[in-house]
Each structure stands twice: as structure tokens, then as C-alpha cells.
């Protein structure tokens, strides 16, 4: 039953806590209760809009944000939320109108709000305006490593590789402990074949900063190739432990992969860095063989821009890669790694890059796509 002793602010605070904990259903129910008591509480309407948005109930979210703007036409969070919803409906011009209105009201100095709008655009592949909003955040907060890194992520998606490298390095100059930016930079350097520079960046991050197995495989291979470390070198142990943490219980395929990773082309010794891409391909192929032995099911996912992709998990990921201008002609492993890093940077959710199924389920949990079946 509604608690008449709670103020609208208390309802809002409790719902906000539930939202931050990912309990969207509970937050929605609490907000509904609060709105029965305080129907004109703008903060409760805004909170309901974001809770509905998190549940992908876009029509209801739009209704809540619009109700909030009837009460307060200049409420910046309601405008930003409505802009996000309008992007879901493909109303790009109207969405940008909401976002620009937020800036016109003087909230261009609000770092979190400007980054929120930029990330919403980025998620919907509106890369040029996303970069513009990220750069707005940088102008207001030049010492924000997060804002600077976001410009780098957008530049990479726009296929502006050198620009992306420069922005990511700038972010790390501001905040050397910005793990996501450093790992992203390391992987970009690896993709360019600059293995020693990549290893230098990987070495500056802790194993616990990594949330995908492929990146750690790269670290292990580079350390053994460049530093000529033996398999049992103590320097490798923290990375192997992190790999085990991410991989969970080992199965026969994992053991086989470990043997392949430890052996050179002739069964002994270390591999040259030029062979790393071949190893990554072999790793993925073996994992794919193991997956196909278990299931050949056909699935469907819906992206945020309304595109539906149908096929096996691997076929869906291949389709996503082919639609991404920055990854056309590049390997699936590169796409998984880059897309997972971008997703984590934008949403804060760790997305696995070890295989297609885990990647897609991780993207769904982060709200980047929806698994229809």
C-alpha cells in the first residue's frame, strides 16, 4: 500500500537506489506508488521515464518524459531522457532538438548529462553528433579523462585511427589509471602491428582491469614472444589467474588451447609476434567448432537502430561486423574486442569478447541490443 508518510523526494530517492542496483521492476512499482500520491511530482515522472527506458518500454518512457515536461518544460533530465527515447523511434532530428535544448538552457557544463546525451547518440550509431557532444564535454571539462576518452572511441568508430590514438593518449596523460582507455589503446596498437608499444600499454594495466579473454591471450603471447618468458615465469601467473577467473571451469577445449598457446610452430619455443593474428584466428575457430558441436540453433537479435539479424550466434556477429564501417574487412576477433571495449566504455557493463554467444548476451545485458529468440 502507498505510504502516506513518505514524501515525493523520499520515493524518488528510494527508486533511484533501486535503479542503480539494476532492480528496474521494483523501481517502476515504487514510482507508480509514489505517483498515485504525488501525480505532479516531476522527479517521479522523470524517474519513471528512465526506469521504463531501462526496461525497453519506449512508448511508456516517452509518455513519462512528456508528462514531466508538461509540469516543467525546461527540466534538463526530462529533455535528455525524451531525446534518448526519440532516438529509439528513429526521430533523430527531434532527439537532437531535445539535446540541443539542454545545452541552450546552460547545461553544457554538466559533465554527466552531456556525456549521457553523447553516449545515447553513440549507441544509435549517430557518430558525428556523438563526437560533437563529447567534444562539448571536453571544452567544459578539459581535465576529464572520461570525456577525452569518449572522443577517442568516437574517432575510432569514424575510422579516424590516428585521431583516436591521440585522444586516448591524451586521456591517459590526464588520468594514467583510466583502465578502459589504456586497454582500448593497447588493442588499437596491437591491431596496427605495433606489438612492443601494445605490450607497454598492456603492462601498465592490471590483470583485474581486463574483462575479455582475448585481450589477456594477447598479453600472454606478447610477453612470451617479446620478453622470451618461459611458460612458468612468475610474471605470467597473475595473467593466467585472471584468464582462469574469466573463463570459469576449464573444459577439454580450454586445455587444448592452453597447450597450443604454450607451443611454438614446431611444438616448442616461442612464436614471433607476426604469428599472433594467426593464433587468434585458430583460437576462435576451435571455440567455434566446440560451440557448433553443442548447438546449431538459429537466433534473432534486434539492434537499437531497428535492424533484425537472423542466424547462428556467429552469423549474427558477422552481420554486425559487416554493418560497422570501422570493421569491414577485419577479423571477427578484432570486431568482438573493439565492440566489447566500446560497449564497456559507454555503458560501464563488461561485455565478453571470447565468443559470439557470450558477446551478444553481454550486449543485451548492457542494453545495446535485444535478443528476440
For residues 50 and 253, the model is more confident at: 50
Residue 356 lies inside a defined structural domain of this protein: yes
Residue 162 lies inside a defined structural domain of this protein: no
Residues 236-272 have pLDDT tens digits of 999 999 988 887 644 444 434 444 444 444 443 333 4
pTM beyond 0.85: no
The C-alpha atoms of residue 250 and residue 63 are separated, in whole angstroms, by 48
Question: Are 372 and 307 a contacting pair, CB within 8 Å?
Answer: no
Residue 139 lies inside a defined structural domain of this protein: no
Q: How many domains does the chain have?
A: 2
Residue 310 lies inside a defined structural domain of this protein: yes
Residue 179 lies inside a defined structural domain of this protein: no
Of the candidates 97, 346, 354, the residue with the CA atom closest to the CA atom of residue 369: 346
Most confident of 61-75, 237-251, 339-353: 61-75
pLDDT of residue 3: 58
The C-alpha atoms of residue 286 and residue 257 are separated, in whole angstroms, by 8
Residues 134-187 have pLDDT tens digits of 999 999 999 999 999 999 999 999 999 999 999 999 999 999 999 999 999 998
Residue 341 lies inside a defined structural domain of this protein: yes
Residues 274-327 have pLDDT tens digits of 333 333 433 443 344 344 434 456 788 888 766 778 888 988 998 888 887 777
Give the relative orientation of helices 127-140 and 145-157 as an angle to the nearest 10 degrees: 160
Residue 71 sits at the vertex; the CA angle it makes with 69 and 75, to the nearest 5 degrees, is: 45
- Looking up cell 571495449, which residue turns up? 341
pLDDT of residue 265: 40
Q: Where in the sequence is the domain holding 50, given as residue range(s)? A: 1-105
The percent of residues in the chain predicted with pLDDT above 70, rounded, is: 85
Domain boundary among 105, 120, 154: 105
The C-alpha atoms of residue 39 and residue 30 are separated, in whole angstroms, by 13
CATH number of the domain at 48, please: 1.25.40.10
Question: Are 152 and 184 a contacting pair, CB within 8 Å?
Answer: yes
- Looking up cell 523520499, which residue turns up? 10
Helix intervals (H) in 40-110: 42-54, 58-71, 76-88, 92-104
Backbone angles phi, psi at 328, to 5 degrees: -60, 130
Domain boundary among 105, 125, 157: 105
Residues 102-138 have pLDDT tens digits of 999 999 999 999 999 999 999 999 999 999 999 999 9
Question: Are 69 and 78 a contacting pair, CB within 8 Å?
Answer: yes
* 341 has pLDDT over 90: no
Concatenate the DSSP letters of all residues of 274-323 into one string: GGHHHHHHHHHHHHHHHHHHH----EEEEETTS-EEEESHHHHHHHHHHH
The C-alpha atoms of residue 242 and residue 231 are separated, in whole angstroms, by 16
Question: Are 318 and 196 a contacting pair, CB within 8 Å?
Answer: no
For the ranges 2-11, 26-35, 271-280, the lowest mean pLDDT is seen at 271-280
Residue 331 lies inside a defined structural domain of this protein: yes
* 68 has pLDDT over 70: yes
Cα maximum dimension of the chain = 76
Binned at pLDDT 50, 70 and 90, residue 101 comes out as very high
Residue 355 lies inside a defined structural domain of this protein: yes
Domain boundary among 105, 121, 139: 105
CA distance to 30, 98, 173, per residue, from 166 (Å): 46, 31, 11
* 360 has pLDDT over 80: yes
Amino acid at each position: 500500500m502507498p505510504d502516506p508518510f513518505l514524501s515525493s523526494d523520499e520515493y524518488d530517492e528510494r527508486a533511484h537506489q533501486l535503479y542503480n542496483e539494476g532492480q528496474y521492476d521494483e523501481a517502476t512499482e515504487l514510482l507508480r506508488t509514489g505517483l498515485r500520491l504525488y501525480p505532479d511530482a516531476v522527479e517521479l515522472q522523470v524517474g519513471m521515464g528512465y526506469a521504463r527506458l531501462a526496461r525497453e518500454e519506449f512508448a511508456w518512457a516517452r509518455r513519462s518524459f512528456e508528462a514531466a515536461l508538461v509540469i516543467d518544460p525546461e527540466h534538463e533530465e526530462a529533455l535528455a531522457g525524451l531525446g534518448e527515447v526519440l532516438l529509439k523511434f528513429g526521430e533523430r532530428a527531434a532527439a537532437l532538438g531535445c539535446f540541443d535544448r539542454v545545452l541552450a538552457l546552460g547545461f553544457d557544463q554538466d559533465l554527466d548529462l552531456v556525456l549521457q546525451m553523447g553516449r545515447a547518440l553513440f549507441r544509435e550509431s549517430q557518430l558525428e553528433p556523438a563526437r560533437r557532444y563529447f567534444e562539448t564535454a571536453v571544452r567544459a571539462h578539459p581535465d576529464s579523462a572520461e570525456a577525452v576518452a569518449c572522443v577517442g572511441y568516437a574517432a575510432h568508430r569514424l575510422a579516424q585511427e590516428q585521431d583516436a590514438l591521440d585522444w586516448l593518449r591524451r586521456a591517459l596523460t590526464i588520468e594514467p589509471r583510466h583502465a578502459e582507455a589504456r586497454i582500448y589503446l593497447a588493442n588499437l596498437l596491437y591491431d596496427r602491428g605495433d606489438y612492443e608499444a601494445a605490450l607497454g600499454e598492456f603492462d601498465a594495466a592490471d590483470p583485474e582491469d581486463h574483462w575479455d579473454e582475448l585481450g589477456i591471450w594477447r598479453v600472454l603471447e606478447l610477453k612470451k614472444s617479446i620478453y622470451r618468458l618461459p611458460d612458468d615465469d612468475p610474471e605470467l601467473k597473475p595473467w593466467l589467474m585472471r584468464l582462469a577467473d574469466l573463463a570459469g571451469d576449464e573444459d577439454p577445449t580450454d586445455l587444448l588451447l592452453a597447450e597450443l598457446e604454450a607451443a611454438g610452430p614446431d611444438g616448442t619455443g616461442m612464436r614471433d609476434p607476426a604469428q599472433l593474428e594467426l593464433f587468434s584466428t585458430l583460437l576462435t575457430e576451435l571455440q567455434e567448432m566446440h560451440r557448433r558441436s553443442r548447438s546449431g540453433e538459429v537466433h534473432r537479435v534486434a539492434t537499437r537502430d531497428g535492424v533484425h539479424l537472423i542466424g547462428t550466434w556467429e552469423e549474427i556477429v558477422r552481420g554486425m561486423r559487416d554493418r560497422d564501417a570501422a570493421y569491414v574487412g577485419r577479423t571477427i576477433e578484432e570486431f568482438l574486442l573493439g565492440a566489447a571495449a566500446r560497449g564497456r566504455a559507454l555503458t560501464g557493463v563488461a561485455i565478453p569478447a571470447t565468443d559470439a554467444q557470450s558477446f551478444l548476451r553481454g550486449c543485451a545485458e548492457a542494453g545495446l541490443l535485444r535478443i528476440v529468440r
